[in-house]
Structure 1
Amino acid sequence: MSVVIVGGNECMVRQYKDLCGEYKCKAKVYPKMQSGLKNIGRPDLLVLFTNTVSHKMIRCVLSETKGHPVKIARSHSSSIAALKTILEEHTL
């Protein structure tokens, strides 16, 4: 399963990827706006950490996934516990 995480803390990127690996998911993490955000691909799950991401970034990501069968999970908290809860819901 492929996961794209948008937002979150830059210092926790490695921890996000490691946790996704425990659930047998490949993860791409975009903690801030980048030019590469236009080509996020077609993930199975899109995680939006809404507290640490701009409205512009959310609009950009949602427009890229529009029309594709992507599960979208939004979380106000960008903690490891929040990500673990989301992965438990969507990977089982």
Structure 2
Amino acid sequence: MCAALIGGMDRLKRDYINAALASGVDLKVFTGKENRIADKLGQADLVIVFTNKISHAAKREVVQHAKANSIPVQMLHSCGVSTLRQALDTTN
């Protein structure tokens, strides 16, 4: 399974990826500072959005892309590694 994480903290990027690998998920991480995130998502099986660390415009762009491509979206306010683990565990 391939998932995309939008938002979060730069310093936790490696931890997010390691937590996803432990769950058997290939994770693309976009911390929200990138431009045109939707173009870089590709065909992810799941999009997780940490809403407290991303702009409204970026969130809107990602949700529209996911909806157009029938990709499930999980929106979570917290941006911790444990929150990511819980989100991945609920989808498996």
The TM-score, its normalising length taken from structure 2, stands at 0.91
SS in 1 for 2:68: coil
Q: CA deviation at 1:67?
A: 2.2
Kindly provide the CA deviation profile for residues 20-62 of structure 1, in whole angstroms up to 9, marking residues without a partner as x: 0011111100002313512211211100000111101101112
Question: What residue in structure 1 maps to residue 49 of structure 2?
Answer: 48
Give 1:6's aligned amino acid: I
Give 1:16's aligned amino acid: Y
Conserved? CA contact 1:46–1:73, under 8 Å: yes
SS in 2 for 1:47: strand
Q: CA deviation at 1:74?
A: 1.0
Conserved? CA contact 1:33–1:57, under 8 Å: no
The TM-score, its normalising length taken from structure 1, stands at 0.91
Give 1:25's aligned amino acid: V
Q: RMSD of the TM alignment (CA)?
A: 1.2
- Identity value in percent: 24
Question: What residue in structure 2 maps to residue 90 of structure 1?
Answer: 91
4+ residue runs of structure 1 moved beyond 4 angstroms? Answer: none
